[in-house]
Amino acid sequence: MLGRLDFSAIFAGPFAHLLVSGAIKTFELTATSWTLAVGLGVVLAVLRASGFPIATKAVAAFVAYHQNVPMLVQILLWYFGVPTLLPDAAQTWINAHDGELIFASIAVGLCMSAYFSEDLRSGLRSVHHGQQEAARSLGLSFFGTMRYVTLPQAIRNALPTFINHTVLLFKNTSLAMTIGAAEMTYVVREIENETFRTFEAYAVATLFYLAVSLGLMGLGALVEKRIQNQAR
């Protein structure tokens, strides 16, 4: 049974090059959307913690939309829907600068920023209110309190779910294949179509995603260990 498997066909000729380019595109997508998601996630969490009614409501609405609409729909909306609202010059510019990567990064980034902001919110809530009051009474501003007292502890507490969502973000970049971004899943499906080596092709993709996901989790565990609250 295993003797019938032929992995050499998957790595033969142009396919090896294709697999490498697919892996690179997956990493590019992960990096750009992760940066957007984390940056925006922190801003959203701080806005929500600020207590301004309008800001809190707006962030809650943003989170509700992005957590309750399938990511695939969000990607299709950004790629096929949003450009129709843009001026022609902007459309032309985006199309000339890898529009698939841009729109997929925005869609995945915005969606995951909702999750990251919620992670951070639960982290913030886990820091005792007394610490904030103490910091304010010592003369720190709201942002000073956030920066030096609350956020560092909140990030530590939020780290486990934060790492889970980073892995989720990495895996979800595979949805970008529907809009023609030539990332790993897209490339593997193409190779499968040309070689009919279905099991081998998807086995390569499975191993790739598994290895990177486990790597990310290992990296997360390392960071967690280094910055974990010491027992005082």
Partner 1 sequence: MNRYKTCIAAAALVALVSGAGVANADQLADIKAHGTLVCGVLSNGAPFGFQDPDTREIVGYDVDFCKGVAKELGVKAELKVLSLDARIPELTQGRVDILAAVLGFNPQRAQQITFSDTYFVSNQVIAASTASSNKKLGDLAGKRISTIKGSSNIPMVQRVLPTAQIVSYDDAPSAFMALAQKKVDGYVLSESLMHRFIDKLGANANTITILSPAVGREYWGLGMRKGEPGLADAVNGALVKMQASGESQQIFDKWLGTGSSFKMKRDFTTAPIPG
Interface with partner 1 includes 182 (CB under 8 A)?
yes
The residue behind tokens 């809650």 is 60
CB of 68 to partner 1, least distance (A): 23
Contacts of 176 (CB under 8 A, 6+ apart): 29, 75, 100, 101, 104, 108, 183, 186
CA distance 109 to 13: 35
CA distance 175 to 6: 27
Interface with partner 1 includes 28 (CB under 8 A)?
no
Rounded (10°) CA dihedral 124, 126, 132, 133: 140
Closer Cβ to partner 1, 115 or 186, answer by number: 186
The residue behind tokens 């030096």 is 148
Closer Cβ to partner 1, 72 or 127, answer by number: 72
Closer Cβ to partner 1, 73 or 210, answer by number: 73
The pair of structure tokens assigned to 184 is 């790993």
H or E element, residue 196: none
Interface with partner 1 includes 198 (CB under 8 A)?
no
Interface with partner 1 includes 100 (CB under 8 A)?
yes
**Interface segment toward partner 1; rule CB under 8 A; list 113-121, 123-131, 133-141, 190-198:** 190-198
CB of 95 to partner 1, least distance (A): 5
Interface with partner 1 includes 200 (CB under 8 A)?
no
Of 159, 136, 163, nearest to 149 (Cα)? Answer: 136
CB of 91 to partner 1, least distance (A): 7
Interface with partner 1 includes 46 (CB under 8 A)?
no
CB of 92 to partner 1, least distance (A): 7
CA distance 117 to 226: 23
| Residues 140-179, mask of contacts with partner 1 (x by CB under 8 A) | --------------------------------------xx
H or E element, residue 191: helix 184-195
Which stretches of the chain bind partner 1, using CB under 8 A? Answer: 80, 83-84, 91-92, 95, 99-100, 178-180, 182, 186, 189-190, 193, 196
